[in-house]
Structure 1
């Protein structure tokens, strides 16, 4: 009986050591998993920063060309405005005279659809 008790004790000790080894293995696994997650996060952040930098460069290039287009359009608009103002000054008196002539030159007429009863 003593050997059975001793065998049981050895089995219990072996089971306890196995449980400790499993526990340590789980802790190591969790630690490695945590390190892998941290490394992946760092890599993701680095990638995002790189892509953001590339985007800013492309955006600046696009806006730079857009800015020059905008100045060209502004310049053309100013030129056209100057031309239109010149035409306005040249033709203002003539247009006003024609307009006043049309408004003031009234010639009363009977409308063609008007019928006198009787």
Structure 2
């Protein structure tokens, strides 16, 4: 499955129209349609934003993997082993979680 097909599938899972998705990203409905049909290609930053919004890995949204939550599994492994990591590592994970939450709130 290619990026456009994945984007359309993820959008429909969330029960969003292409217009609604475009509004969330400040993009025209025709731009979203162009991505979904393959007529247009998003830049890497937008791909990352879509992946974060849909809570999937960039590999998944690009069609390179069928594992939707690859990144989450790695994060879950880190938290599973949370008591065995250094204070510096804990601070880093806390900062990354804070950044993620701010990005998620911004994309609502």
- For Structure 1 versus Structure 2, the TM-score category normalised by the shorter chain is under 0.3
Name whichever structure is richer in helix by fraction.
1
Bigger CA radius of gyration: 1
TM-score (norm: length of structure 2): 0.21
